[in-house]
């Protein structure tokens, strides 16, 4: 069996959840596990943390259905705009949804009524990100309409911040002001919601005024602070490891890997490791990546292949079977998702989410 695997630390997940519980001890916690839990393994993570959180957030109805199939019983909210074709899945699996369109709400209402059920709805307010949701002035009419539907139960209202992970809080403050105004207008009409959620990880770390009654925590739950936020109290939950599968001596002037972009400058040992861009370990890391073997950093050299990479280990006594860490800590050395993101010119979210399904995820303490 290929030794490449992703280790997910249960204790790190528990620790990070506790961090956010301390920040907002009276609020509900919505654990966002969309996109395969940001690459960490959706059903594995959700099953491990279900007793510690109040709800789960997913992107699409099929993700919610997969969680139900895995035995997850707590509320699951589908955070992306549902389509009319999602109605049967949403009703069948008792999923919460965000409301962005009255046409879709009517379809949900009809489907729920046909099955003698009710769909739990969260009104989604677009306060400035302009991706999903209703403009503030459109919200009262939709809420009035939903209140007349027997298959709809309005349980929540939400918004999403575009720049809450930045030091400049101007836009977040303005978005939050618009959201609060909507809440006030609805309260004047007699509408109040038990689940009011706006704070994502960035806002939870920096903007207590956004807490309301629930926090939506995604990347922070996995131990990664987003954007410009600083949260040394968080612990990365993911460790990407493999093992050396072959070693060979290469003479000075000899090439390594496709394209012969790397030429050995001296006689050296090249170790082969079984991971590549087919696993989501980006080929764009060619010439930029490192790994840790036995607590020491080594450069990954030559073009990253679909299934393998090569490591220049010099004259060190590296052997087949030695553990190789690509994300995580070994000895006194550490490589984080942010380190890799910086070298790719992207964000840590993409680094972990790219990690493919063919890498097994295992839960460790």
Known catalytic residues are: 34, 258
Tokens of 300: 């990954």
User: Residue 22 and residue 244: Cα distance in Å, rounded?
Assistant: 42
Instruction: Tell me the chain's radius of gyration from C-alpha atoms.
Output: 24
The one-character DSSP state at 125 is: B
Question: Residue 240 in contact with residue 246, Cβ under 8 Å?
Answer: no
Which residues have C-beta within 8 Å of that of residue 307, sequence separation ≥ 6? 274, 275, 276, 278, 279
User: Residue 61 and residue 65: Cα distance in Å, rounded?
Assistant: 6
Provide the pairing of β-strand 28-32 with 55-58: parallel
| Structural element, H or E, at residue 249 | strand 246-250
The one-character DSSP state at 320 is: T
Query: Residue 269 CA to chain centroid, in angstroms?
Result: 37
User: Residue 172 and residue 255: Cα distance in Å, rounded?
Assistant: 51
Residue whose C-alpha is closest to residue 79's, from 197, 177, 176: 197
Tokens of 101: 């369109």
Which residues have C-beta within 8 Å of that of residue 185, sequence separation ≥ 6? 139, 140
Q: Which residues of 173-193 are buried (b: 16+ CB within 10 A; e: fewer)?
A: eebbebbbebbeebeeeebeb
Tokens of 21: 């519980």
Phi-psi region of 138 (alpha: psi -120 to 50; beta: other; left: phi over 0): alpha
HEC string of 86-98? HHHHHHHCCCEEE
Provide the pairing of β-strand 238-243 with 214-217: unpaired
């Amino acid at each position: 069996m290929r030794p490449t695997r992703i280790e997910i630390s249960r204790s790190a997940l528990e620790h990070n959840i506790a961090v956010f519980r301390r920040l907002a001890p009276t609020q509900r916690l919505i654990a966002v596990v969309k996109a395969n839990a940001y690459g960490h393994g959706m059903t594995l993570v959700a099953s491990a943390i279900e007793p510690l959180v109040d709800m789960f957030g997913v992107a699409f109805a099929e993700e919610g259905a997969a969680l139900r199939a895995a035995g997850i019983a707590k509320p699951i909210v589908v955070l992306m705009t549902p389509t009319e074709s999602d109605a049967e899945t949403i009703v069948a699996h008792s999923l919460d949804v965000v409301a962005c369109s009255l046409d879709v709400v009517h379809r949900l209402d009809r489907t729920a009524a046909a099955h003698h059920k009710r769909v739990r709805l969260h009104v989604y307010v677009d306060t400035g990100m302009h991706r999903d949701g209703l403009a503030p002035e459109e919200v009262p009419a939709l809420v009035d309409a939903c209140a007349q539907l027997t298959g709809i139960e309005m349980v929540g209202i939400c918004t999403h911040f575009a720049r809450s992970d930045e030091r400049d809080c101007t836009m977040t403050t303005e978005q939050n002001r618009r959201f609060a105004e909507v809440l006030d207008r609805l309260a004047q009409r007699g509408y109040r919601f038990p689940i009011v959620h706006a704070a994502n990880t960035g806002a939870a770390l920096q903007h207590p005024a956004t807490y309301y009654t629930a926090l939506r925590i995604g990347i922070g739950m996995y131990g990664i602070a987003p954007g410009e936020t600083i949260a040394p109290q968080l612990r990365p939950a993911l460790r990407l490891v493999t093992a050396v599968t072959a070693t060979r001596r290469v003479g000075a002037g000899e090439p390594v890997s496709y394209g012969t972009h790397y030429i050995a400058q001296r006689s050296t040992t090249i170790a082969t490791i079984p991971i590549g861009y087919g696993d989501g370990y980006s080929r764009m890391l060619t010439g930029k990546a490192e790994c840790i073997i036995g607590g020491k950093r080594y450069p990954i050299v030559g073009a990253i292949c679909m299934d393998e990479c090569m490591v220049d280990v010099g004259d060190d006594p590296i052997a087949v079977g030695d553990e190789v860490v690509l994300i995580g800590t070994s000895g006194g050395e550490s490589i984080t998702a942010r380190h890799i993101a910086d070298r790719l010119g992207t964000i840590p979210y993409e680094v972990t989410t790219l990690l493919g399904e063919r890498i097994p995820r295992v839960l460790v303490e």
